[in-house]
């Protein structure tokens, strides 16, 4: 099964009662293990948590700390891009050349990289004097 198919499958578990906009994410960690995440909304935070953040949290909880590939899928007219917060989270755990696949449920796919999604990302080098 492909990473996009993994993301498509977990997308169905999204809890999106307010927006009705379900998003799924799947990533491959440095260990080779696949981690999944979907968006979760609630009444106090109706915009919810993002699918990418969920997959990253599952990865960290599973003992992994690096991303080697990630895919995101939603039912949208064009491939959905991770929000700014998720772009930074992805950059924390992935090098700039890591492949990011953005997809729609209709089969439209856009391939990019972490560096292209978040040029000039904040990293530990900025804190080298601390």
40 marked as binding residue = yes
Residue 42 in marked binding region: yes
For residues 75 and 42, give the distance between their C-alpha atoms in angstroms, rounded to a whole number.
20
Please identify which of the residues 5, 12, 52, 92 carries the catalytic annotation. Answer: 52
Which token pair is 105? 């449920």
Residue 38 in marked binding region: no
Distance of alpha carbon 36 from alpha carbon 50, whole angstroms: 12
CA atoms of 30 and 99, how far apart (whole Å): 13
Q: Is 52 a catalytic residue?
A: yes
CA atoms of 86 and 90, how far apart (whole Å): 6
Does residue 13 have a known ligand-binding role? Answer: no
Question: Residue 39 annotated as binding?
Answer: yes
> Which residues are known binding-site members for substrate?
39-45
Active site members: 52
> Which residues are known binding-site members for Zn(2+)?
50, 83, 86
> Which residues are known binding-site members?
39-45, 50, 83, 86
């Amino acid at each position: 099964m492909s990473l996009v198919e993994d993301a498509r499958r977990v997308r169905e578990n999204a809890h999106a009662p307010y927006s009705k906009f379900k998003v799924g994410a799947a990533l491959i960690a440095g260990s080779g293990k696949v981690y999944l995440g979907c968006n979760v909304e609630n009444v106090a935070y109706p915009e919810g948590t993002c699918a990418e953040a969920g997959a990253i949290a599952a990865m960290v909880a599973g003992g992994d700390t690096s991303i080697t590939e990630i895919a995101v899928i939603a039912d949208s007219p064009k491939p959905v891009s991770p929000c700014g917060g998720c772009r930074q989270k992805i950059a924390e755990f992935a090098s700039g050349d890591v492949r990011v696949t953005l997809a729609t449920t209709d089969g439209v796919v856009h391939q990019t990289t972490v560096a292209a999604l978040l040029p000039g990302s904040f990293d530990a080098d900025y804190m080298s004097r601390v």
